[in-house]
């Protein structure tokens, strides 16, 4: 039978190894694109007009794109709950 000190070292070693494996797996799982098959599209704002002119009317606004597609008489929400 092993001594209690040896058992403690084994438990500490296994615990440390488990923590390292879990942290490595979590780092690997979180990626910038989250594993999706998408192409990144970076939209840059148009250049500002010369100083005497007013800025573009949509400057500073954010927009979102929905995935609602309309077919002949019905609509599809591709992955969204109604």
Q: Which domain holds residue 31?
A: 4-76
pLDDT tens for residues 55-66?
A: 777 777 887 766
CA-nearest of 81, 41, 79 to 63 is: 41
Strand, coil or helix: what is 76?
strand
> How many domains are contained in the chain?
1
pLDDT number for residue 10: 92
Strand, coil or helix: what is 75?
strand
Beta bridge partners, 76, equal 69
pLDDT tens for residues 2-15?
A: 788 888 999 999 99
Question: Does pTM surpass 0.75?
Answer: no
Nearest-angstrom CA–CA distance, 17 and 23: 10
Q: How many CA atoms lie within 13 A of 38 on its CB side?
A: 9
- Residue 60: inside a domain: yes
Give the pLDDT band (50/70/90) at residue 69. Answer: low
- Residue 81: inside a domain: no
- Residue 48: inside a domain: yes
- Residue 82: inside a domain: no
């Amino acid at each position: 039978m092993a001594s209690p000190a040896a058992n403690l070292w084994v438990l500490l070693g296994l615990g440390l190894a488990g923590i390292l494996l879990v942290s490595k797996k979590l780092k690997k799982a979180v990626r910038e694109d989250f594993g999706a098959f998408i192409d990144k599209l970076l939209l840059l704002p148009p250049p500002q007009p010369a100083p005497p002119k007013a800025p573009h009317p949509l400057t500073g606004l954010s927009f979102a794109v929905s995935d609602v597609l309309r077919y002949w008489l019905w609509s599809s929400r591709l992955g969204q709950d109604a």
